[in-house]
Amino acid sequence: MDLEAQLRTLALSLGADYFGVADLSSAHDVILAQGGDRVARYPRAVAIGMGLQDSLVDLLRDKDPGGAIVYRHNSYDVVNQMLDQIGVRVANVLQRAGHSAFPVPASKRTDDDHISGIFSQKLAAHLAGLGWIGKSCLLVTPEHGPRVRWVTVLTDAPLHPTGSPIEQQCGACTACVDICPQHAFTGRSFNRNEPREARYDAAACDRYFREMEKKKSVAVCGLCLYVCPYGKKSGSGIRR
Ligand code: SF4
Ligand code: SF4
């Protein structure tokens, strides 16, 4: 079995639903600006995704504290831990094969000023051909919409890219823009050459979570993730 097949089999056997390889060369400057040379020196990324349970994502609609606690535990804490374990296991296989590998933690903020991690998991999945970056700034897959969490392993292994970026398919839909209680989205389509601020006020979303924490309520929102028609089973309601 070749190395890529070995990694794919391992990731899927550990519960992943998505596996892809991205060529990062076209995004080198963006990656360098976000995380520095410690991440920008890797030419490729393995993107691994795990789908969320629809029954739990649908709890977000009701905004009730009990549902929020269950969602946060299973769809955030547990899934992120599983993804981190898959990322470390995949990185170990790459290292044993003689390559350098850097597992990027799932959903781990490393920069409070910019409210971002060291590397964009969504960018890797997008470049691997697994989905597009929607008006919600979430990675939207054709199969499960944004109801997927991601982990990335950066590497210098000579793996072949699994696809090319998918064009945005949001069309005229503005469901995520309209539902956001903080009006955090501008509705602009993703453009790698524009700063995130052109599309998304991350500070507004973050403030919302801090306010919930101050009130001792469960800090969960996710309405932008819940509402995307590509994530709902029927996919109905998409306005192109
Ligand atoms: S999580 Fe909530 S507040 Fe934050 S961007 Fe999404 S809809 Fe807006
Ligand atoms: S809710 Fe609509 S606009 Fe937002 S990401 Fe999904 S398809 Fe795109």
pTM to 2 decimal places = 0.93
Rg (CA), the chain: 17
Can you tell me which residue has the tokens 């070749």?
2
* Mean confidence (pLDDT) of the chain: 92
pLDDT at position 114, please? 82
Question: pLDDT per residue over 9-47, tens digit each?
Answer: 999 999 999 999 999 999 999 999 999 999 999 999 999
- The answer to whether the CB of 21 is under 6 A from ligand 1 is no
Whether the CB of 131 sits within 6 Å of ligand 2: no
Would you say the CB of residue 176 lies under 6 angstroms from ligand 2? yes
- Under the banding of pLDDT at 50, 70 and 90, the label for residue 233 is low
Q: How far is the CA of 9 from the centre of ligand 2 (A)?
A: 31
Has residue 113 got a pLDDT over 90? Answer: no
The answer to whether 46 and 153 are in contact (CB under 8 A) is yes
- Give the pairing of strands 148-155 and 101-104: antiparallel
Would you say the CB of residue 140 lies under 6 angstroms from ligand 2? yes
From residue 206, give the alpha-carbon distance in Å to each of 80, 87, 193, 203. Answer: 19, 26, 24, 5
pLDDT at 238: 44
Model confidence over 176-218: pLDDT tens digits? Answer: 999 999 999 999 998 878 888 899 999 999 999 999 989 888 8
- C-alpha distances (whole Å) from 69 to each of 82, 207, 227 are 18, 19, 19
Q: What spacing in Å lies between the alpha carbon of 35 and ligand 1's midpoint?
A: 24
